[in-house]
Chain A
Amino acid sequence: MTSWIGTILRVDLAAGTIKKEPLNMKDAHDYVGARGLGTKYFCDEVDPKVEPLSPENKLIFMTGPLTGTAASSAGRYEVVAKAPLTGTIGAANSGGHFGPELKFAGYDGIIFENASETPVYLYINDDKVEIRDASELWGKTVYETTDLLNESCGESFKVACIGPTGENGCLFSGVMNDKHRAAGRGGMGAVMGSKKLKAVAVRGTGSVSVARPNKFKEAFVDARAKLKADPIGGAGMAAFGTEVLVNIINESGALPFRNWRDGAYFDEADKTGGEALADQYLVKNKGCFGCSICCGRVTRVPDGPFKSVGEGPEYEAGWSYGADCGISDLAAICKANFLCNEYGMDPITLGATIACAMELYEAGALPQEDVGFPLRFGDPHAIVDLTLAVGKNEGFGKTLALGSYRMAEKYGRPELSMSVKKQEMPAYDGRAIQGMALEYATSNRGGCHVRGYLTSPEILGVPLKTDPMVTEGKPALLKTFQDLTALIDSLGICLFTTFGLGLPEIAAQYREAIGSDESDEEILLKGERCWNLEKHFNIAAGVEKDTLPPRLLREKLPSGPAAGKVAELYDMLGEYYSVRGWDQDGVPTDDKNAELGIKYESKILCDI
């Protein structure tokens, strides 16, 4: 007995068939679960040149071996597909309660193939699995869809769905579950919409076993105690949420301001921070399945033009709609973020895309008639109105729905898109945090902070203090962070556990759950295997080289502790490839492939 259920669902949406298959346990062993295992299934079955919004792209929901167990913060699952925004492997991770419920129903994952001709949703009630008509759900928001499915299926069902933006092919639409949690980045929602799949509603009455219950209990009790004792994982995140980062990143001179054009310090940032959110709009904090951290924000703007109720904003969305758009009106930021959840969009990309449009407008490249009003930095009504325009697929919202790169390219200024591989970078300036510059450039899903979060050691001093101004040592540190993150995403636990836990505590829970005697190092190697598999896919897909927007490489920061700095990417990139065991073009070598047991052949990666 292990913490795996041992069964996956394979759903052919064109044929209308549902098959129950045994989980590939060899791949589960080698690629852990969730992100790694979902990617392995995907790479084995899908041509990397596939058009992301074609029926041939597959959409995989995959849990991890710790999902649904009593391990620390084990409510995560992964959505995997080729990402329409980036053309890279798309792997988006989400919390809430959906992932555990899928395992309670008796399934480790779902592989969706082909496309339905009419809107459908997948109904899962333990053994009973059906493809059902979703005509009446099509066009509904995330909140409406979830409520309607809870009315028709039952209150206890957990729902993952897309909003109207997923139906309309918005390239940064997400898969939303439990209304407010998102597999947010890269456009997984658009892939789901292209298959005419509106939702998955699941209810499970089973449970998740573990291989060695007594030892597993020892491991998770130890992990939870350490997390609770940690100042961040214990009280800090619960009190102020992730928005508390606004001030420390700003004070460190690393908060990108006005589309990264005007430096990395916003003198009104404090109005948008976690302290202000807690003081003005926080109703209560909230946790995902089995989580003691409870960083979620239930928030309410009680009055005024942006009166609204919802969840968030988290730090990245608070920045994209805040400092990146030059806005300090926290009520407007909350409202825009709520709309993203309601319509099923990634607020990092959308906020950053609006910021890019603001710069295009001020540079004279974006005509006012295209937008409908003067689009200047600092206009709180603009972020709300334009977010709604994308949500409803109206007017200039149709252009914003392409993301910043395609939009800026349309107006002849692609260099003003602050993106990597066409995905917008989040809220840390790589000129002030050199390791983050390398992280953005090498991320396997484009500009992203949760692929190797070097802000933790470089700014927060966790688990060690490193100087954000220097490049020395960053390549090796980033490799470790990337591999560990891939492992954690694959296990089905929250990345935030690493603020209180290290590899020993995390690996111990994994070992006892599945009954393994592998060393910590052998387990971490599985994270590296995942990373390399993702890289192989991207190379085969023809993804562009690892680099950064020219602004980061050429335009010096004007003020703050990193004044005069640019991102010293090319001081780090060659060494990074070396420590990864890749050649200087960033291609994994035969020796590295042999070490990891990855056999790469033309378009399809074969079994170990």
Chain B
Amino acid sequence: MKVKFFATYREITKCKEAYIPTQPDVWSLLHYLSGVYGPEMKAKLFTADGNDIGQDAILLINGRNIAHLGGKNAPILDTDTISLFPMVAGG
């Protein structure tokens, strides 16, 4: 499955996108990414107690925010594209 990184996540991963082994859901995906990219990634993806998704992570599955797909339990298919952003804004 494909994961696309943006803004500060590119600084952590040193790449714009990666193909990773299929993960069953968002929570598993976040643990996988933390394992691959280390403590800095983990600190952004999880809250301090490790029980929830961190404030500085916006996740889209095929363009839909996971908040509308089941949150951390949102299922992922092998054909899905995940987009990972920090909190961004503008206008």
Give the B-binding residues of A (Cβ under 8 A). Answer: 230-232, 236-237, 239-245, 247-248, 251-253, 270, 273-275, 295, 314-316, 449-450, 453, 455-456, 459-462, 465, 467, 469, 495-496, 499, 560-561
**A461-B67, A561-B62 known; A239+B8 contact, CB < 8 A:** yes
Interface residue B58 (Cβ < 8 Å from any Cβ of A):
yes
Q: Is the interface of A mostly helix, strand, loop or mixed?
A: helix
Q: List 11 A-B contacts (CB under 8 A).
A: A231-B87, A237-B90, A240-B7, A251-B4, A252-B60, A273-B6, A295-B90, A315-B90, A453-B91, A467-B65, A496-B89
Interface residue B27 (Cβ < 8 Å from any Cβ of A):
no
B72 to chain A, nearest CB (A): 13
Q: Give the complex CA separation of A270 and B4 in angstroms.
A: 11
Interface centre among A231, A245, A462, A465 (most CB of B within 10 A): A231
Query: Which A residues touch B91, using CB under 8 A?
Result: 242, 245, 315-316, 449-450, 453, 455-456, 495-496
Give the A-binding residues of B (Cβ under 8 A). Answer: 4, 6-8, 10, 16, 55-56, 58, 60, 62-65, 67-68, 83, 85-91
Q: Give the complex CA separation of A460 and B64 in angstroms.
A: 11
A236 pairs with B62, CB closer than 8 A: no
A236 pairs with B67, CB closer than 8 A: no
B8 pairs with A248, CB closer than 8 A: no
**A240-B7, A247-B6, A247-B85 known; A231+B90 contact, CB < 8 A:** no
Residue among B4, B10, B83, B88 making CB contact with A236, cutoff 8 Å: B88
B10 pairs with A275, CB closer than 8 A: yes
A276 to chain B, nearest CB (A): 10
Q: Give the complex CA separation of A460 and B65 in angstroms.
A: 9
Please name 20 further chain A to chain B contacts, defined as beta carbons within 8 Å, in addition to the given A240-B7, A240-B88, A244-B90, sorted by A numbering. Answer: A231-B56, A231-B86, A236-B86, A243-B90, A244-B88, A247-B6, A247-B7, A248-B58, A251-B6, A252-B64, A252-B65, A253-B63, A274-B7, A453-B91, A455-B91, A456-B91, A467-B68, A496-B89, A496-B91, A499-B89
Q: Give the complex CA separation of A8 and B64 in angstroms.
A: 50
Q: Give the complex CA separation of A461 and B65 in angstroms.
A: 9
B7 pairs with A244, CB closer than 8 A: yes
Nearest A residue to B71 via CB reads: A465
B89 pairs with A460, CB closer than 8 A: yes
Query: Which A residues touch B85, using CB under 8 A?
Result: 247-248, 251
Nearest B residue to A459 via CB reads: B65
Q: Give the complex CA separation of A270 and B65 in angstroms.
A: 19
Nearest B residue to A426 via CB reads: B91
B50 to chain A, nearest CB (A): 19
Q: Give the complex CA separation of A315 and B88 in angstroms.
A: 12
Nearest A residue to B88 via CB reads: A244
Query: Which A residues touch B89, using CB under 8 A?
Result: 232, 236-237, 242, 244-245, 456, 460, 462, 496, 499
Residue among A231, A270, A453, A560 making CB contact with B16, cutoff 8 Å: A270
**A231-B55, A236-B86, A247-B85 known; A560+B63 contact, CB < 8 A:** yes
